[in-house]
Structure 1
Amino acid sequence: MTFYTFVKNLVYGALKPIYRFEVIGKENFPKEGGILLCTNHIDNLDPPVVGITAPRPVHFMAKAELFQVPVLGKIVPHLNAFPVKRGLSDREALRKGLAILKEGKVLGLFPEGTRSKTGELGEGLAGAGFFALRSQAQIIPCAIIGPYRPFRRLKVVYGKPVSLDGMRERKASAEEATELIMSEIRKLISEYR
């Protein structure tokens, strides 16, 4: 058993009784090939919740500051996370993300770049569109529908793959691709709230 699987099982066992999450749409998750998993961000628990409910291991782009926190900074890289410097064009993080997708793995992103203060879906940043257009990965929208309250149901909804073939052909902007992805997340929230 890998460290990732061990921690996934441990976290699942700890969180499931408290948040009673309901996972919808797992069948939409491709069994192989690169996947760009784009999720709304409403709580600090979003990364572990997505990590334990996704059918495949997820590699998260995480804020660089997390890697400086004592103890946590040593564990996070073993959970498939890699640092990104927010507010900058972090070329190393972009290269790492593209390499993960090219290797046929799952790259998890929160396109908003930060947690929503209101719980409502915010504006997406161009990064999601960049990865979507620069790779041949399948794009899976995901909606976490809360709030995170003990013993209340929390929904994690995996949508059907979003096709960007037309956008790739006409060389659409990263912003335009991100907006399409965000609109799919918005639809999931609206449908399952």
Structure 2
Amino acid sequence: MLYRIIKPFIRVALYFFFRKIYLNHSEVYAIKGPVLITANHPNSFLDAILIGAFFKKPIHFLARGDAFKKPIHRFFLGLLNMIPIYRLSEGKENLYLNEYAFRASKKILEDDGIVLIFIEGICLLTNEIQPFKKGAARIALDYKGKKPLQILPLGIAYDRFNSWGSTVNLHAGKTISLAELLPFDDRAKNMRYFNDSIVQSLNRLIVTPLNAKPAQNRIVKLIGNLGYIIHRWFFLGLDSFVRRKTQNTVFHDSVLFGTLFILYPILIVIIGFCLISLFGLKMILPLLGILVMARCIVLVKNPNE
């Protein structure tokens, strides 16, 4: 429920956070379940936020279990349709909890829902495919729903990491029927064939975007310079803080996006209130529009380039 409420705001925020988001086959994002989305995992929670924001139907995500350690984190991540799944590196004592993740995923699919699993099971801030785990194949093998299960490979690639104002490609492939991916009577053979088939699909779908600067006329350039001056202190200061807090982790972009999602509207409200107090409402509304527009255009002057 919470995710449905904030989803439109997340989509707007993503277009503020990224320079450009490319989507192919827009009709795919209206797909109905049961669907198991198998995606690569280059950029932590930001991958799930991006994918979930553009599908019309609610998506449940399998997310790394160490993010659910604190009860408050578990509560809010659960509200965002995230299901914890644990790796061996997070402790053998937690592996039994994965049974809950697989049961929950199975029920969602059998109720005609959509489940997203990052098939590599690891995030390394790279667009290169990592060795696949068996979780996606296991979910597919255990599916017992009445409707045919569709498998949707989806590639995601960024032009850079640990940076706001980047460009991202979301490339969805063609859906694959479960029968095509599980042709054998042997479970182990089916798991290997499933992963090999998805590897071939994702290799074609992961396309690193070119970091091209958009053309600008004089007015756009002027607004961009204004946005750069107004926002520089806020964004660079916040980015520096997040870098310190997420040092030696893969969470920089995810934490920065989440922090901006909460704090940037507050900044606009504060600036608007101050300007209204000084100049009045009628004079300030157009300026606030320019201020927000300037935030979008300031991405062309990203100091991380």
TM-score category of the 2 structures, normalised to the smaller one: 0.7 to 0.9
Alpha-carbon distance in 1 for matches of 2:168, 2:180? 34
Q: Please list, as runs of the form range in 1=range in 2, the aligned pairs for 1:98-137 lying within 5 A after superposition.
A: 98-135=106-143, 136-137=148-149
- Give 1:187's aligned amino acid: R
Contact 1:60 1:108 in 2 (8 A): yes
Q: Which runs of 5+ in 1 are unaligned?
A: none
Asked if 1:151 corresponds to 2:165, the answer is: yes
Alpha-carbon distance in 2 for matches of 1:120, 1:64? 23
Deviation, 1:82, is 1.5
How many residues of Structure 1 are paired with residues of Structure 2 in the alignment?
192
Contact 2:184 2:190 in 1 (8 A): no
Deviation, 1:106, is 0.4
Contact 1:58 1:80 in 2 (8 A): yes
Partner of 2:9: 10
Partner of 1:187: 204
Deviation, 1:85, is 2.1
Partner of 1:83: 84
Structure number with bigger Rg:
2
Partner of 1:35: 35
User: Using a 3 Å threshold, how does the CA distance of structure 1 residues 150 and 167 change in structure 2: closer, same or farther?
Assistant: closer
Q: Which has the higher contact order (CA 8 A, sep 6+)?
A: 1
Deviation, 1:66, is 1.5
Q: Which runs of 5+ in 2 are unaligned?
A: 89-94, 211-305
Contact 1:36 1:107 in 2 (8 A): yes
Partner of 1:62: 63
Secondary structure in 2 matching 1:114: coil
Alpha-carbon distance in 1 for matches of 2:38, 2:168? 18
TM-score normalised according to structure 1 size: 0.87
Contact 2:127 2:206 in 1 (8 A): no
Identity of aligned residues (%): 24
Contact 2:40 2:154 in 1 (8 A): yes
Partner of 2:182: 168
Secondary structure in 2 matching 1:112: coil
Q: CA RMSD in A?
A: 2.3
Contact 2:168 2:209 in 1 (8 A): no
Structure with the higher fraction of residues in strand conformation: 1
Alpha-carbon distance in 2 for matches of 1:108, 1:184? 16
User: Using a 3 Å threshold, how does the CA distance of structure 1 residues 175 and 142 change in structure 2: closer, same or farther?
Assistant: same
Deviation, 1:192, is 7.6
User: Using a 3 Å threshold, how does the CA distance of structure 1 residues 102 and 153 change in structure 2: closer, same or farther?
Assistant: same
- Give 2:13's aligned amino acid: A
Structure with the higher fraction of residues in helix conformation: 2
